[in-house]
């Protein structure tokens, strides 16, 4: 069994604050979950036990404990989320939507997500983009390229 790299030791005041957050339940689910993780980590529970109790992955627990050591209880209220920034800004999204509504290239009956991704790169809207990012962008719009099924 590995020892934990980031040990959480809460003061009595910090414990009271976290217990209040959990018991009152008037904060967001994210804040309550983070408070529960820190309380369980303070009781020397293993990452696996905490993960099972709170339904999160062990990596999240490790990162939260590390950040707690650096930032203290401010880590509860952090709204930043990990991940890669979006590839397409508003103008590029509009161009993609217009492209999807345009006539497909010769030899193709319709635009595919892969064709759209290749065309966006060819038009130099972005350096590179995966078809899933194109799909996600188009899914957000109210664009419906399907056949009219209203019977008219």
- Give residue limits of the domains in the chain: 12-77, 90-140
Write out the two tokens for 27: 């904060």
Tell me the pLDDT tens digit for each residue of 36-71.
Answer: 999 999 998 888 899 888 898 988 899 899 999 888
Separation between Cα atoms, residue 81 and residue 125, nearest integer Å: 25
Q: What is the mean pLDDT of residues 18-24?
A: 92
| Residue 105 or 78, more confident | 105
pLDDT at residue 81 in the model: 66
Whether 114 and 86 have beta carbons less than 8 Å apart is answered as no
Instruction: Look at residues 14, 66, 62, 59 and name the one whose alpha carbon lies nearest to residue 35.
Output: 14
pLDDT at residue 146 in the model: 58
Which sign, positive or negative, has the C-alpha torsion 135, 139, 145, 148? positive
Tell me the pLDDT tens digit for each residue of 24-39.
Answer: 988 899 999 999 999 9
Write out the two tokens for 119: 């065309």
Task: Name, in order, each residue with C-beta under 8 angstroms of 73's C-beta and a sequence gap of 6 or more.
Answer: 14, 17, 18
Using alpha carbons, list the distances in angstroms from residue 51 to 57, 62, 70: 6, 10, 22
Tell me the pLDDT tens digit for each residue of 87-145.
Answer: 888 899 999 999 999 999 999 999 999 999 999 999 999 999 999 999 988 988 776 65
pLDDT at residue 1 in the model: 41
**Residue 79, pLDDT above cutoff 80:** no
pLDDT at residue 149 in the model: 56
pLDDT at residue 124 in the model: 92
């Amino acid at each position: 069994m590995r020892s934990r790299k980031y040990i959480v030791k809460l003061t009595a005041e910090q414990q009271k604050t976290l217990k209040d957050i959990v018991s009152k339940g008037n904060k967001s689910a994210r804040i309550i979950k983070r408070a529960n993780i820190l309380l369980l980590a303070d009781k020397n529970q293993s990452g696996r036990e905490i993960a099972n109790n709170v339904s999160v992955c062990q990596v999240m627990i490790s990162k939260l404990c590390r950040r707690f050591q650096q930032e203290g209880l401010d880590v509860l209220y952090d709204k930043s989320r990990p991940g890669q920034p979006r590839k397409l800004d508003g103008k590029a999204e509009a161009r993609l939507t217009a492209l999807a509504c345009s006539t497909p290239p010769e030899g193709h009956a319709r635009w595919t997500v892969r064709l759209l991704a290749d065309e966006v790169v060819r038009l130099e809207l972005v350096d590179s983009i995966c078809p899933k990012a194109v799909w996600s962008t188009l899914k957000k719009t109210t664009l419906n390229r399907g056949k009219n099924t209203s019977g008219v």
